[in-house]
Structure 1
């Protein structure tokens, strides 16, 4: 537990832990008491850190209900991250094609620091919808196919740092403990795509492929989510191939745009 004299690094880690818990309760909000209990902090320490997060514009506080919520700034940060290479307009046609051709739900996510932000979504025609993510939703790296793909693209030391930093946010998810995610990272690197089987929503699966920005770092992903029966082999491999074809198209457009700016 970090008191007023705690080191800046320790205080930052504690604040990030609290932020992740708030993000994890974005729909319902969460009280100070619950936040302190989940983070293992005293109420005064939690309140001090939350005050800092509010001052930074990262969280909002609803006085009548006494609940904390993520602030819009988190979404704007995700938008800023994706704007580095203007991926949203370049991916629009690909998202539309994938949703129409597969009938499933397609997501575009971008990395913002230690988080994955959903920046676009298209819903296919299949009767059972998979709407686990809304545009603007923020998740810690490692959670779901998008987060797993982004986490797997990082160096090992950054993977470990993320697993430690997000331990509280990932704790409620049975398949998101540190050892399971290490195995998933290894599998993702080997296969070239991320596969999430019921990690976030039971009986729902997702596959994700990374989009490389101008610096060759994977900064965004396209994913497809469906009920588990629709993501079994051999259809899964076929869908991954479709995703990769669209990613190739997006990356080619990004290179063309970068070349045009250099002329």
Structure 2
């Protein structure tokens, strides 16, 4: 094994120490990005960045808290955090997933007349990265591109939360308790029930829980590893999301979600036997 090129007990001025910590964190982040498709384990990241495991672990935890790095509890691998995507939006209009989703979002907006959103997970929040408005004169513009919401708050955000493993759902709910406190319909008990309902139905439904006059449906888009990569959602006024219309909206969302998954390289699910 190559020698580790740093010491956890370097003596330096505060400014030099800060610069060194930033250099190490950026080096780790670059290694995480270099292995975005497959993920990278702590030991491999530490070795490639020439850091001790404790130092790498401490820096990665800091990057996770900032939303710059995500950690898959099941595989114990690190992936780029979706907050990086927001930074990309601020500096460039081009973003692969948004570009891939735009034609389908435009079609959904045309077919339904309603507002279509694309959201990504960013730590314990959902980040709106794209929006397409339809032709219906009353628009539900409750989210702007770049807006964050705690996971579970809103249809797309709830779809992302429900796609996570049970243990991770509980961790997110616990960490978001204070952020969700002002929203009476989104206490932990109700949120767990919404997660169960979303999993049973195969889509999320926000039927006026945030705003009485607004309803929305969301579905998850998964990546090649089966993790939630994004959520597509359609929002409109409640009178346009009656039960008799929901099935058609869900079918349209599912169609575009599956098309987006295939564009991301996800193999289509096998057809059920007849």
Are 1:123 and 2:130 an aligned pair?
no
SS class of match (1:222): strand
Structure 2: gaps of 5 or more residues: 1-61, 68-80, 90-94, 268-274
Q: Distance in 2 between matches of 1:159 and 1:76?
A: 19
Task: Find 2:261's aligned residue among 228, 232, 251.
Answer: 251
The answer for the alignment partner of 2:92 in structure 1 is: none
State how 1:1-263 maps to structure 2 within 5 Å.
Answer: 76-79=83-86, 86-255=96-265
What TM-score do you get using the length of structure 2 for normalisation? 0.63
| Paired residues of 2:162 and 2:198 also in contact (CA < 8 A) | yes
Q: Distance in 1 between matches of 2:264 and 2:178?
A: 36
| Paired residues of 1:78 and 1:117 also in contact (CA < 8 A) | no
**Mean Cα displacement is larger for which, 145-154 or 198-207?**
198-207
Count of aligned pairs between the two proteins? 186
Q: Distance in 2 between matches of 1:246 and 1:184?
A: 23
Distance 1:95 1:174, change over 3 A: same
Q: Which of 1 and 2 has higher RCO (CA within 8 Å, sep 6+)? A: 1
| Paired residues of 2:223 and 2:266 also in contact (CA < 8 A) | no
- Kindly report the root-mean-square deviation, in angstroms, between the aligned alpha carbons of the 2 structures: 2.6
- Higher percent of residues as helix: 1
| Paired residues of 2:215 and 2:237 also in contact (CA < 8 A) | yes
Shift of 1:198: 1.7
Shift of 1:80: 6.7
Q: Distance in 1 between matches of 2:125 and 2:141?
A: 19
Q: Distance in 1 between matches of 2:173 and 2:84?
A: 21
1:25-57 deviation per Cα after TM superposition (whole angstroms, max 9, x unaligned) = xxxxxxxxxxxxxxxxxxxxxxxxxxxx9xx98
Shift of 1:147: 1.2
Structure 1: gaps of 5 or more residues: 1-52, 59-73, 258-263
Shift of 1:77: 2.8
